A = this chain, B = another copy of it.
Amino acid sequence: MKGVILGLQPRAHLVDITHEIPAGDIRAGAFALAASHGFFPRGTVHVAVVDPGVGSGRRAIAVQTVNYFFVGPDNGVLSLALAREKIKAVHQITNEQLFLHPVSNTFHGRDVFAPVAANLSKGLPLGKVGASIKEFVKLSSPEPQRTANSIKGEIAYIDRFGNAITNIDNTKLASLAEGLREIIFRGKRLCELQPFYQAVPHRKPVAVPVSSGFLELALNGGSAAKKFNLRVGQAVIVRGKPH
C-alpha cells in the first residue's frame, strides 16, 4: 500500500496508527481509528483496511468530513470515527480508472484504497471516485444504561497492555453522585474510579477515564485482561456512592 501511495504522491506522509489489530477484527480497527484520527492535521486522509469481506459483494466507500477524508470497506470499520465527525459527503468507490490493475480479490487495500487515498490527497474531488450514497454500515454500539445512581456499560475493546476500554463516555461520569465511585464487575465491587493508574498500589485494579475519551479498567503495572479474564462485551457498572 505504501509503495502504491508513494508512486502516486511522492510527498505523502505515511503514518501507521497500529500494528496490533487482530486479523479480521473490524471492531478493534474501528475503535483504534476513532481513538486516534482526531489528533491528525486537517486534511489527513485516513485509510482503514480491516477487510475480511474483501472480494465479496461488500461496498467500498470514501467519506469527506469537515476535517478529513476516510477511505475503506463499507463494513463498519470507519463508522466509530465517523460518529465523531461532521460528515459532508459519502461516495461509493466504483471508478476503476483509479484502481491498480489487475485488481486482486484479496487485497483491495493495495489495489483500490491506496490509489484512491493518494488521489484524494492530491486534490481529486470526492465525486470522481463514484456516486454519492446515503447510507453506510454502522457498527452497533449499545448505549450505556443510566439509573438514578449508576451507569451500566460494557467492555468495547482490549488493548495490547491488557487494558479494557468500556463504552462509558468520560463526560457522563460527572453526573453520578459525588464522592466515591466504584466499579461493579460480575456482581461484585472490583475497584474505584481514580484519575490515574498509580493512584492504586502496584498490581491492583483501577478504573480511569482515559485519553480515548472512555472509562477504562486497568491493572497498575500489569494486564487487567489477563488477571480478571476480561472479554469484549462483558458488563461494567459504575456506581456513585453519596458522601
Contacts and interface: CB of A to CB of B under 8 A. Distances in A.
A121 B211 CA distance: 25
Interface residues on A, range: 35 or more
Nearest to A11: B13
Interface string A211-226: 1000010001101000
A23 interface: yes
A3 B41 contact: yes
Question: Chain A: interface secondary structure?
Answer: loop
A41 B10 contact: yes
Contacts of A14: 15
Interface string A1-12: 011101100100
A162 to B, nearest CB: 8
Contact of A197 (B15, B40, B41, B52): B52
Contacts of A209: 105
A214 to B, nearest CB: 11
Given A15-B2, A19-B19, A196-B55, A211 B104 contact: yes
Interface of A: 2-4, 6-7, 10, 13-15, 19, 23-24, 36-37, 39-41, 44, 52-56, 100, 104-107, 110-111, 160-162, 195-199, 208-211, 216, 220-221, 223
